[in-house]
Amino acid sequence: SLGSHPSAYLRENTTNFGITVNDTAVLWASDNNTVLGLEAATELWTSNLTGGQHVCIGRGAGRDVTTAEKNTFVGYYAGALSNGTGSNVGVGHSALYRITTGGENVAIGRNTMGALLAAYSNVFVGNSAGYGSSTGITNNNVGIGTSSLYSIDNGDNNTAIGCKAGYNVSAGYYNVVLG
């Protein structure tokens, strides 16, 4: 442990490593979690952790993660509000930012799946792909390309490939959109 008060961030009966700057944890590993960045996975320090095996890299990445398992969040505030959802991969500025229910999602790109609250088994690649809204549940969709399936809210089993492909699909099922 390094820093002015590193012991404040160590948990008993675990393998710990921590670096602090001005009393703020910036790099630590505990309970099979690896975290790097200011405000990254901060809830893991203050909560009764029941999950683990997270990788959170970037300012605010995985900030609110407490009970889920096996998330990987890389990027500025990627997965920041995620809590109770596991096995997600969010790479990019604010990817999977608001997800709170679901799991097994892959979001690569800035704001990808950024507004969705509930989502299961989706794959979105591209800036703002699958951005969605905060009201519905979205399952088993694939969107590849900038803003593909951007408006998705209650749609399931859709595939959209191309820039803005399926941009206005919000509640559709079993759609295939190319172009």
Give me the sheet containing 118-120, strands edge to edge: 101-103, 118-120, 137-139
The β-bridge partners of 138 are 119
Convert the pLDDT of each residue in 53-82 to its tens digit: 889 999 999 999 877 889 999 999 999 999
Burial of 67 (0-12, 13-18, 19+ CB in 10 A): middle
Model pLDDT for residues 95-119, shown as the tens digit of each residue = 999 998 889 999 999 999 999 999 9
Report DSSP state, residue 76.
T
pLDDT, tens digit, for every residue of 147-168?
Answer: 999 999 889 999 999 999 999 9
Sorting pLDDT into bands at 50, 70 and 90, what band is 52? confident
* Residues 111, 131 contacting (CB under 8 angstroms): yes
Q: Residue 10: what pLDDT? A: 46
Tokens of 35: 């975290």
**pLDDT > 90 in the chain, percent:** 54
Question: Beta strand 24-30 with 33-36: parallel, antiparallel or unpaired?
Answer: antiparallel
Specify the DSSP class assigned to residue 43.
H
Mean pLDDT of 6-28: 55
Tokens of 98: 């608001």
